[in-house]
């Protein structure tokens, strides 16, 4: 198709992937215990990740990025996510959500100011979720009221990835008291987090995913100039957020699939080393059943991923595919992590082995970027819309 995004040169991309695969296995995985102990990625590793361009994969080349298309970006996330989730978490908000929102909807001035900074590794947050609303935009409480040549923002954002140390947040706020059709009451604002009136809650303690941080962003009479309004137009914020969420869902699906592969590889290794009744437990058919079910499910998720990203790069809408892939892959990752614990037996419950960490880490994939239940609603509503459209013409 003529509107296929060519992205990075194919040969250069393959070399980058090979370099990243080595980096994941030789640097990122060996550093995992350190990340867990300190609940953070060491500065030297972060500097290496910036140097490799991992914060600028999707930024256009003229802004200092690699100019990857969706396929290349998601394949890169898949490669990176074989390692613990903190590494994807710190880069992916820049790449998949804030960058795509600015690229798709920003003014030329906003692109020129923010994309080079994001590509260089300034860390971003995406501020949609609130204490009383997540996927429900009608419940959004944060307000942006016109004041002189700008806006005054008030509200609280909750569970915001990277909030404790991000430099900028894309904040969704209400520019109309009434709920308008197509969520026209929601606008998006680029807010540097050192702006007067912004405070951040402390990093929340979580079930898993050590080294990645979430927290509140509290906005109290925060004045931002008019040019902070994304795209310079009110009422486009929710559409921008939803466009970005397709990328976010593809990224979470890819991360789930890669982490399931890591859990399965660990389970295979353990099953061949652990002996019971005088032989490796890998010889037992019920263990083999768990391994083979896991392989088949991972393969199915990989096929879904590659179909969805190919369609995205052809310029097709992938709302359905992104939601279905995220839903299937995140649920599948939970099943594979659970089997990994089961194959380890008693050892699977001990912190000494990786299986229990995989189990805790993978649980969030079924929740963020829209829960499984929200994915079901998104898929069903779109199916019914498509059916109605077909019925009436």
Residue 288 makes CB contacts below 8 A (sequence gap 6+) with: 282
Categorize the per-residue pLDDT at 392 as very low, low, confident or very high, splitting at 50, 70 and 90.
low
Instruction: Give the domain ranges of the chain.
Output: 10-122, 125-233, 239-391
Pick the CATH number of 10-122 from 3.60.10.10, 3.30.2350.10, 1.10.540.10, 3.90.1150.10: 1.10.540.10
Convert the pLDDT of each residue in 345-375 to its tens digit: 999 999 999 999 999 999 999 998 889 999 9
pLDDT at 243: 78
Q: Give the pLDDT score at 2.
A: 44
In tens, the pLDDT along 276-329 reads: 999 999 999 999 999 999 999 999 999 999 999 999 999 999 999 999 999 999
Reading the block at residue 390, the tokens are 């077909």
pLDDT band at 219 (very low <50, low <70, confident <90, very high): very high
User: Which residue among the candidates 234, 297, 321, 369 is catalytic per the annotation?
Assistant: 369
> pLDDT at residue 1 above 70?
no
Please state the rounded mean pLDDT for residues 40-60: 95
**CB contact at 8 A, 219 and 196:** no
pLDDT at 369: 87
Cβ atoms within 10 Å of 5's Cβ, excluding its own = 14
Q: Is 369 a catalytic residue?
A: yes
Over the chain, what is the mean pLDDT?
94
User: In the structure, what pLDDT confidence band is assigned to residue 132 with cuts at 50, 70 and 90?
Assistant: confident
Architecture label for domain 125-233: Beta Barrel (2.40)
Determine the pLDDT at residue 11.
96
What are 75-87's pLDDT values in tens digits? Answer: 999 999 999 999 9
Write down the number of H helices and E strands in the chain: 12, 9
355-368 CB burial, b ≥16 within 10 A, e <16: bbbbbebbbbbbeb
Query: Given pLDDT bands bounded at 50, 70 and 90, which one contains residue 390?
Result: confident
C-alpha 189/C-alpha 18 separation (Å) is 37
Q: What is the pLDDT of residues 265-276, one digit of tens each?
A: 999 999 999 999
Please state the rounded mean pLDDT for residues 47-61. 94
Mean pLDDT of 112-119: 95
Fold topology of 239-391: Butyryl-CoA Dehydrogenase, subunit A; domain 3 (1.20.140)
- For residue 56, what are the contacts with CB-CB under 8 A and spacing of at least 6? 63, 64, 65, 66, 94, 95, 118, 119, 120, 121
Query: 151-180 burial by CB neighbour count: b if 16+ within 10 A, else e?
Result: bbbbbbbbbbbbbbebbbbbbbbbbeeeeb
Q: 75: part of which helix (H) or strand (E)?
A: helix 70-80
Instruction: At 129, give phi and psi (nearest 5°).
Output: -70, 140
Residue with more model confidence, 348 or 244 = 348
pLDDT surpasses 70 at 162 = yes
* Stated pTM of the model: 0.93
pLDDT, mean of residues 138-143: 90
Looking only at the bridges linking them, the beta strands covering 124-127 and 168-174 are: parallel
């Amino acid at each position: 198709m003529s509107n296929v995004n060519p992205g990075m040169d194919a040969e250069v991309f393959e070399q980058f992937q090979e370099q990243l695969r080595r980096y994941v296995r030789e640097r990122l995985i060996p550093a995992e215990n350190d990340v867990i102990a300190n609940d953070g990625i060491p500065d030297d590793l972060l500097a290496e990740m910036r140097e490799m361009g991992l914060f600028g994969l999707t930024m256009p080349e003229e802004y200092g990025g690699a100019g990857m298309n969706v396929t290349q970006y998601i394949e890169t996330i898949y490669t990176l996510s074989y390692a613990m989730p903190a590494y994807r978490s710190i880069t992916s908000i820049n790449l998949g959500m804030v960058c795509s929102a600015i690229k798709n909807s920003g003014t030329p001035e906003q692109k020129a100011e923010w994309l080079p900074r994001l590509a260089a590794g300034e860390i971003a947050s995406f501020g949609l979720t609130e204490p009383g609303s997540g996927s429900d935009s009608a419940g959004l409480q944060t307000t942006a009221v016109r004041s002189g040549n700008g806006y005054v923002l008030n509200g609280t954002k909750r569970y915001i990835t990277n909030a404790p140390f991000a430099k900028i947040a894309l904040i969704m706020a209400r520019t109309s008291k009434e709920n308008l059709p197509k969520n026209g009451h929601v606008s998006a604002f680029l807010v540097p987090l050192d702006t007067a009136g912004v405070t951040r809650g402390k990093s929340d303690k979580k079930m898993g995913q050590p080294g990645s941080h979430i927290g509140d962003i509290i906005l109290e009479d925060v004045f931002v100039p008019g040019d902070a309004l994304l795209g310079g137009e009110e009422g486009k914020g929710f559409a921008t957020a939803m466009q970005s969420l397709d990328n976010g869902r593809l990224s979470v699906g890819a991360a789930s699939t890669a982490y399931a592969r890591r859990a399965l590889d660990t389970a295979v290794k353990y099953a061949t080393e652990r002996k019971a009744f005088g032989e490796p437990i890998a010889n037992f058919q019920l263990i083999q059943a768990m391994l083979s079910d896991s392989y088949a499910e991972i393969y199915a998720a990989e096929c879904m991923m590659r179909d969805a990203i190919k369609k995205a790069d052809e310029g097709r809408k992938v709302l359905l595919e992104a939601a279905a892939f995220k839903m299937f892959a995140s649920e599948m990752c939970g099943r594979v992590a659970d089997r990994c614990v089961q194959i380890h037996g008693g050892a699977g419950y001990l912190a000494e082995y990786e299986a229990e960490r995989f189990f805790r880490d993978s649980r969030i994939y079924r929740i963020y970027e829209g829960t499984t239940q929200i994915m079901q609603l998104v898929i069903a509503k779109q199916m019914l819309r498509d059916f109605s459209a077909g019925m009436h013409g």
